[in-house]
Chain A
Amino acid sequence: MNTTGSDRSSGEFSTVVELSFDRSEIEAVQSEVARELAERGFDESAAFAVRLAIEEALVNGFRHGNGGDLTKKVRFECRINSSSICIEVIDEGPGFNPDGVPDPTHESNLETPSGRGIMLMKAYMSEVEYLPPGNRVRMSYHRTPA
């Protein structure tokens, strides 16, 4: 199910998209979100943060959640208003325990090539929460008042 809409009276944008593991589909979502953020005056650092978090969440969903199974989809939901952006990414996998992921910044893990996606999402977004059983991540970014 793919739906996209903007409520002109409230200035809210929302979209729900079922994505395949395809770069062009991910880029289309990224471009749409970037455009909606720019229209609402979100600055470059917000755009960078949101783009990075979406990238990590989607790739985690496809790669780890769906186990790289190209027949499985990842659902992307997004709402943007003048002060914040809320995102949910849901994969078709069994879920996981996010607390079981090793801290990639620990001295012993610094040279391990993987495992930084979740910590980057947490670093760049205002809130990140994995909902049980762990195949749905909800995150938000709140604009800092000027």
Chain B
Amino acid sequence: MAAQMARLRVTRIGEVTQVEFVDRNILDESNIQQISEELTSVVDELPTPKLLIRFSNVEHLSSAALGAMITINNRVRGKDGLLKLSEIAPQIREVFTITKLDKIFEIHDDHEDALKSFS
């Protein structure tokens, strides 16, 4: 099952809901707001979310985008769910390291490994 939202592509793979970004640059405030709303609607539809967010096509993001990830992580955890991130480009991975957000997000280099880690 795959669904195309305005800013996200959502695919169900077994128990895991996989999300990909339409945008290569996650910078614009209104886009980030829309991404937050779409992620929230995805999470709200799931009783116990198992969410994988793929960053494979993302080239730039801002601190506002990091904020959106933290907000959605808090929401997922509030439902006893799991949020994992995968395929983050090295330069963006460094942003997660500098901000120490790699301490609160489980990040996988490989998509298959990320999927397997939910089971």
A interface residues with partner B (beta carbon < 8 Å)? 23, 44-45, 48, 51-52, 55-56, 59, 63, 104-105, 110-117, 119-120, 123
Q: Is the interface of B mostly helix, strand, loop or mixed?
A: helix
List, in ascending order, chain A residues with CB within 8 A of B95's CB.
52, 120
The total number of A-B Cβ pairs within 8 Å is: 54
Partner of A116 from the list B63, B103, B104 (CB cut-off 8 Å) is B63
A111 touching B70 in the complex, CB below 8 Å, given contacts A116-B63, A120-B63: yes
B interface residues with partner A (beta carbon < 8 Å)? 27-30, 60, 62-64, 66-68, 70-71, 73-74, 91, 95, 98-101, 103-104
Q: Is the interface of A mostly helix, strand, loop or mixed?
A: helix
List, in ascending order, chain B residues with CB within 8 A of A59's CB.
29, 62, 64
A112 touching B70 in the complex, CB below 8 Å, given contacts A48-B60, A51-B60, A117-B63: yes
List, in ascending order, chain A residues with CB within 8 A of B103's CB.
110
Residue of B nearest to A118 (CB): B63
